[in-house]
Structure 1
Amino acid sequence: MAHVRLFRHYIHLPFVILGLIDLAVVALSFALAAFFRYFGEVTFYFDNIVFVIPSAVVFGILNLTVMIALGVHQARVEEGMSGMMLRTIMAMTFAIPLHGVAYFVANDWLWYLGNFGLLTSATVLAIFSLGIARVFFFAVVGKDRFKRRVLVLGAGRRAKQMFEDLTTPFNRKGFNLDGFIPMPDDTVEVDEQYLINLPTSLHDYVLRHPVREIVVAVDDRRRGLPMEDLLECKMEGVHIIDGANFYERESRKVALEMITRGWLVFSDGFTVSSVYGVGKRALDILSSGTLLLATFPIMILTAIA
C-alpha cells in the first residue's frame, strides 16, 4: 500500500516514512548535542540518558509538527530539495519558542529544553543531519519502491480525463501507470500507445504482471463489467477502486465530471453524529468567546469615545 488514510485524507506512504525518519533524526540530533554539551563521557551519558530522552522526544515532535504545518514534505515535489531544506530551516527556527513553552509547562521533565545554547546546537545539527538522511531516502524512493503498479479498466472519456490530469509528477508520485484496457462497445479516447489488448482475460494479465491496483474508469457501467475477472483479481489481493476515488486520492481534488449520484450515495462523506455536532458547537462557542474577549477592550474604548 502506497498511502494511508487519516481523517479522510490520503497521505502517501513515502512521506509517512520520511516523517518518521525526520522525527528520529531530529530527536537523535538533540541527544547527541546534549552529549557533547553536558556529558562528554559515554558511560556517564548512558547512565543519565533517561533524563535526556523526554526532552529529545518533545524536541523532535514539536519540530516535526511545525515542518508538517509549513508543508516541508510536499515541498520536495513542488520545489525540489532546496525548497524542502529552506522550509525545514524556517520550521525549526519557528519551533524554538515552542520549546521554551514546553519547558515552562513541564520543566521537571524537560530540563534540557530550557537551555537556549543547547537548542541552537541541536537545531543546527538536526538541519545538517536531515539533509543527509533525505538525500539517501529519496535516492531509494526514486527507484519506485513505494509506488503501486496501476491498471485502468476503461479507455473512454473518464479514463482520458483522469490520464491527462494525473500526468504531472506531483500527481504521479504514488503509482506507476501500466495502461488502459478498453471495454467492448466503448469509444476509445486514450492514445493507442497506452492501450492494452488482453490476449486472454484480465485475471490472467494480473497473474503475469505485478499489478497491485485496478481502477474502474468506464464511462457507462450499465454496459457491463468483467465481474468474474474483477472478483478473481480481488481474491488475488489486487485492490479495486473507483475512478473518482482514485482521482481524489492521487490529486487531492474531486473530479466533478466523474461524480455520479451513486458515488455520492455510497461515499463515506456527509457523516453526522452527536459527537461531531457537540464538538462543532463547542468550537464555535470557544472561537466566538475568544474573539469577544480579545476585542472587548476596543469595544469599550469605542463606546466611550
Structure 2
Amino acid sequence: MSNTKFGNLSTGSKSLVIIELVIFAGAFLLTYSLNRYFKLVNHQELASNFVAIYAIIYALIIQLSSLALGLYNTKLRESYRGLVRRILMSVAIAFFIVTFLNPFYPNGGLATELLALSALLSFILVSISRYFMLKVDLFGLNKRKVLVLGAGERASIIEKRMRRDVDRQGFSMHGFVVMDGDSENGIVNENRIVLDGALVTYAIEHEIDEIVVASDERRNNLPVDELFACKIRGIEITEILDFIERETGQIAVNLIYPSWVIYSNGFASSNHLRNTLDWLFNASIAFVLFLVTWPVMLITAILIKLDEGFKAPIFYFQERVGLDGQAFKIYKFRSMRVDAEKNGAQMAQKDDDRTTTIGKFIRKYRIDELPQVYNVMRGDMGFVGPRPERPEFVQKLIKTIPYYNERHNVKPGLTGWAQLKYPYGSTEEDSLEKLKYDLYYIKHRSFMLDLLILIRTVEIVLFGKGR
C-alpha cells in the first residue's frame, strides 16, 4: 500500500480527490433516492439531514481506502486495467468498513444490500470517469515529468524524434542536464540545465518523475550514487534506448550497444508454444482468406491480362530472404511492367513510374499481396512479420546497417509494424528507419500486437491507404 498523505498530493491529485468525493457521495444519494421510489430493499428511513452526513462519511471512507491504495499518487504508472483493479479493491475494503460501522448509526443504519448497491454504483461511475480522465489526461496524472541526463548527440535523438506534442503524450520534458563529454552537436532548442548542486536534490525540488540516462560519455562519468539516491526515492531511471522504444514504438538502431542487447530480452523468440503453433494458425487463416478472396484474385488476373495483353504474365516470382536467412520464392500479382528491372534490381518507390495502370490500383489496396497466402500455407511466411527483402539488398544492408540480420529471427510477413509506420522506401536511410520498427516488433511480438497490426492493415485495405 502507498503511504501517500493528502497534504503531499499535487494540485491535480487534490482536484481528483474532490471530484471523486462528489461521485462517491452522489452514488450513495442516488442509490438511496432510487430505492425510495422503487423499493428494491426494505430498510428504516433516515432523517434527510442524516442521509447527507451518511453519504459524506461513506465517501470519505472510500477515499481513504483509495488514498491507501495509491489511486491519488501522481507517480502511479498503471494501465487502465490495473487502475480498475485498485478501484475495485478500494471500494470492497470501504464496503466492509462501512458495513462494520453500520449498526452504530441511528435505527441500526441502512440495509447491507443498499450499501452493496451503493458500492457497485460507485465502482462503475469512478471506473468510467477514470477512463475518460486518462484519455484526455485531465489532471496530468498520466504524464511523467522527464529530466534527461545528457545534452549531447544521444540526447538530441529525443529532440529530433519527438518534437511535436503528439509525440509527447505520455510525458512532459523538463530539460536536459549538460554532462562532461557531451558532443557539441546536441540539444539546440530545448531547455539546457547546468547543475550547481546534487542531482537528487534538483530532481526532488522539481518533482521529477523519471530520469533518462542519455550522456555521450559514460565511462567514469555517470553519477551512479546520485542515480541510486533518486531511484530509492521513487524516481524512475530509464536508459535512452528503452525510453525511445517505449515512446516511439521503434528501436534506435544507431544507439544500440552490445551490453543493451545482452541485458534486454533480445530479439529471438522464446515462446516455444507460439513457435510450434505458428504454422498451423497462419495456414488455417490463409486458407480461409483464400476462400473469401478468390473472386477478387480471379478478377485481378483478368484485368492484368486486359491491361497488358494475354501474353503478359499474371504473377511475379521473386527470391526473398526469410527465417534464419533462408531464401524462398515469393508470389505476387505483377504490378510493374515486364521490363521493370532491365537495369538490375531496384527497390520499390512511392509513385514508381514502372507501375502499370492496374498495378497502381492493386498496390494501393494491397491486392498484389494476395497470392502470398500460398507462401503462408507453405510455411515460408506468416501473416505478420518484417517484409522479406531480396538477397541482393540484404547482403548490402547487413554490411552497412548494424543489427540488420536480427530481422531474420522471425518469419517474414504479409504485413508488419514497419509497413504501418513507414511508407515505401528506396534508400539505405529508409531501410534503417524500417529496421527500427521491425526490431521493435520482433522484441515485443505477441498475439495482441499481431491482432493490432492485422486490424490496422484491414483499415488500410478498406480505405486505400496503402503506401
What TM-score, normalized by structure 1, do the two folds share? 0.49
Higher relative contact order (CA 8 A, sep 6+): 1
Could you say which structure has the larger radius of gyration?
2
Q: Report which of the two has the higher share of helix.
A: 1
What TM-score, normalized by structure 2, do the two folds share? 0.33
